[in-house]
Structure 1
Amino acid sequence: MDELETLDDLRARHGPIFRRGPGVLYVGEPAEAKAVLADTGSRYREHSDFFQTGKGLFGPRSAQQEVGRAARNLLRDHWTARSDRLAAIVAREIGPDSRWPDAGNLLLYTCFRDVLVPEGELRRLVDQVVRHAVLAGARERRPVLLRAALRYRVRRALVAELSRRRTRDVRAPADLLDVLAAAAPDDSSRTALVRLAEVFLSFLFAVVGSTGFLLGWSVYLRATAPGAGGDLAGVVREALRLRPVAWNFGRFPAEPHRLAGTEVTTSDEVVVCSYLVHRDSRFWPDADEFRPQRWSAGMPPGGAEAYIPFGWGTHTCVAAGFAVQVVEDVLGLLPPAGQWRVEARRHRPHVAAALAPPTFTLRTNGARTGEGGEHGQDHPRRTGGAQHPQE
């Protein structure tokens, strides 16, 4: 059995909350999962799934929120301003025989690269990070020492660039590094700069990796279930339900307590598993089936009780809406789904920190839809209320 099958089996045998090895408690019961993520009762240590670094937590929370909003707005404005070029970029980057999920990741990197990092040596290093650390399975294909050396080089270059930008008076950020250089201005220590460098890498993974994987899942699931129906919004939301990219959220108790009758100690890790939460049949009929049409009237009845693809509580991903918008926009510029054919040696997902689609080739026929949307009509661009996948 693979990792996900193992979790399904453990839930079937032990219920939605179960121990998996010493000191690890999995939570797949929706109400308890939300309580843990919202930290009801302040029972867990302060934690961020995005701003946690090797040098500690970047914070305080107010600074996290400020950085998240500024970055989201920057990326959203960049996306909107280039909407007229998107069809040409998709047509150029996604050919009739494209290899996924890498194709989706690299497409988004092409779209956002100018607003992530400037041209020059630093960009060349970030290019390597994308190829050797962000793409699905990339880390397994590159020796540990080479990965460590690349991380050291890019972190050093990021610290130097952030330090240089701290001295600039920037009225409006031109790229993500400007946003980060303006964060926590009262602390210019090397430790603070290292934290910001690691936050940059978290952004890179969110923009290129996580959002790219969501795009890949949307393509894969729609292509392998051609009769599933539903519109683009339903496809993306159902992909998030069935195959949540952020599928585990780890929390560490600050005090001993009971969780649904289970004793939890401060040496435990409590893992909220959105993969299990999203398969609760009380809230999701035919929970293991890809059914985009269930979203035809918005959130399905009862679905809000068991839907946490971007977390829950104060650390909910502040840019979730923008991620969904980006994926919908790209899907609308691909050839009609009736012309898709998936070829894969195996259909098991890549299971790591993020849940990525299996490696597959998407073969398409007919004219591209950059000139007329998925169904031969203009694909509308939305420009308001968007967010990006980042806390």
Structure 2
Amino acid sequence: MRRATAEPGGFLTDPLTALEGWAGDGVPIRRFEPGRYLVSGGELVRTALAGTTTPFEAKAATFGAVAGWVPGSGRSRPVNAALARELDRAWQAVPAERITAELRRSAEAGEAWPGALAPCYLRLFGEQLFPGLSPQARRTLQDALAASDGLDRTSTTLRRLRGRFAHSRADAALHRWATGRADPLPDALRTALGSADDVALALHGLTGAVCRAAAMVFAWTVLLDRGWRPGTPAGTVLRAAPVTEPAAHRVREALRLWPVAWLLSRKVTAATELGGVRLVPGDRLYLCTYLLHRDPDVWAGPGEYRPGRWARPPEGHKARYLPYGFGSAACVGSRFVNQATAKVLECADALAGFDLRIIEPEPVFGSLLSPPVVRPVPPD
């Protein structure tokens, strides 16, 4: 076995600069701080993601606050299946005309994307997920989504306190809604979780995860469609251009190039080795899909936006493309994010002429990889 060589500091302070320096260097695992390792080798990432308790402990983001939740357990499987069914039903049930109208309203109002898009997704698909949820409770959920988006960009003490308050109110609103309902989703959650408090936490986690992730994937895709590149300054207007590639290919390529779940975490719970590196309990692995998706041995032009590559993906891509993780702890909302966002993109293509003005030019490598902030520019 060998010890991984420590890399210079700065990764968590300035991730993009570090990642640009490491992209394509072929190092599968590196120590960037004592007890912290960045993993980007395909087989090593899959090995670490396959564990849920020993030697690598996983936490499913949607259920991270639910006590005793183990991804892939007998307790979790029926819940994940029920959630996946409900999410599928939700995106399929919303008519295209409703989506186009919501996008047009947001664009004409000049709302800032991606922040304003998460509430758009909630308005569109929340009606299906949470039938009968009161307008006040829906606004409470929107406030919690806005608080999460703000934390990614400016995590001050005051903002964190406001965020905790917003999320507590959202938990309470969903607790009231789910209590006593006989809908398939609350029923499945109550059966598996037992506690009404845990049902509310799970529903809130689901809503935040899928709405925010879908909003960011949509924003990344429309930015890349209009030619955005790192370093594009604030004030630049990205012009709308004819789109020829299918929406599904564009979504997959945006997730390859700028994966929203760019860094997946696993805690080491037992002495083991990974890639020849000795690991001890308490070490932390950071599994980097950003680097994994730019492996030059698999992807031609790994830093270029080429949606056409998905018409015939390269050999070996399945081991180098994990935008939602892998195994039993993979994101339960992955199908929703991909297919709902492709559907929304198809509706957005009907809004020809809307350009995007960059307001905040830098992507943010927070809990999610958030794109630059833009505002739609209505046509003259």
TM surpasses 0.5: yes
Q: Say whether 1:260 aligns with 2:275.
A: yes
Match of 2:141 in 1: 126
Matched, 1:234 2:237: no
Tell me what 1:21 maps to.
33
Cα 1:82/1:322, change in 2 over 3 Å: same
1:60 offset after TM fit, Å?
7.0
Match of 2:87 among 75, 78, 103: 75
Distance 1:49 1:207, change over 3 A: closer
**Per-residue displacement from partner, 1:270-296 (whole Å, max 9, x unpaired)?**
111111100111111111111111112
Take 1:334 and 1:69, find their aligned partners in 2: how far apart are those partners? Answer: 30
Shift of 1:120: 5.0
- Aligned partner of 2:167 in structure 1 is 151
Displacement of 1:229: 5.8
- The counterpart of 2:326, out of the listed 304, 312, 315, is 312
* Paired amino acid for 1:152: S
Correspondence list, 1:29-108, <5 A? 29-39=41-51, 42-53=54-65, 55-57=67-69, 61-84=73-96, 85-95=98-108, 97-108=110-121
Cα 1:114–1:179 shift into 2, 3 Å: farther
Whole-Å Cα distance in 2 between the matches of residues 264 and 41 of structure 1? Answer: 15
Please give the per-residue CA displacement for 1:129-160, whole angstroms capped at 9, x wherever unaligned: 12222467466375333223333333344445
1:364-390 deviations in Å (ceiling 9; x for gaps): 538xxxxxxxxxxxxxxxxxxxxxxxx
Q: The residue matched to 2:79 in structure 1 has which SS?
A: helix
Distance 2:338 2:46 in 1: 21
Question: Per-residue CA shift, 1:171-228, capped at 9, x if unaligned?
Answer: x43xx545533433xx3xxxx3333322222111122101111111111111126599
Instruction: Indicate the SS of the match to 2:166.
Output: helix
Task: Describe the shift of the 1:231–1:358 C-alpha distance in structure 2 as closer, same or farther (beyond 3 A).
Answer: same
Offset at 1:328?
1.1
What does 1:249-328 correspond to in 2, within 5 Å?
Answer: 249-297=264-312, 299-328=313-342
Determine the structure 1 residue equivalent to 2:218.
215
The normalised TM-score by structure 2 is: 0.81
Cα distance in 1 for partners of 2:62, 2:201 equals: 10
TM-score normalised by structure 1 residue count: 0.79
Q: 1:14 to 1:320 in 2, by over 3 A?
A: closer
Contact 1:228 / 1:292 at 8 angstroms: preserved in 2? no
Q: Unaligned stretches of 5+ in structure 1?
A: 367-391
Q: CA RMSD in A?
A: 3.0
Query: 3-state SS of the aligned residue for 2:56?
Result: coil
Structure 2 CA distance for partners of 1:317 and 1:54, relative to 1, 3 Å = closer
User: What is the one-letter code of the residue matched to 1:224?
Assistant: G
User: Aligned residue pairs: how many?
Assistant: 352
Q: Distance in 2 between matches of 1:59 and 1:361?
A: 38
Report percent identity of matched pairs: 25
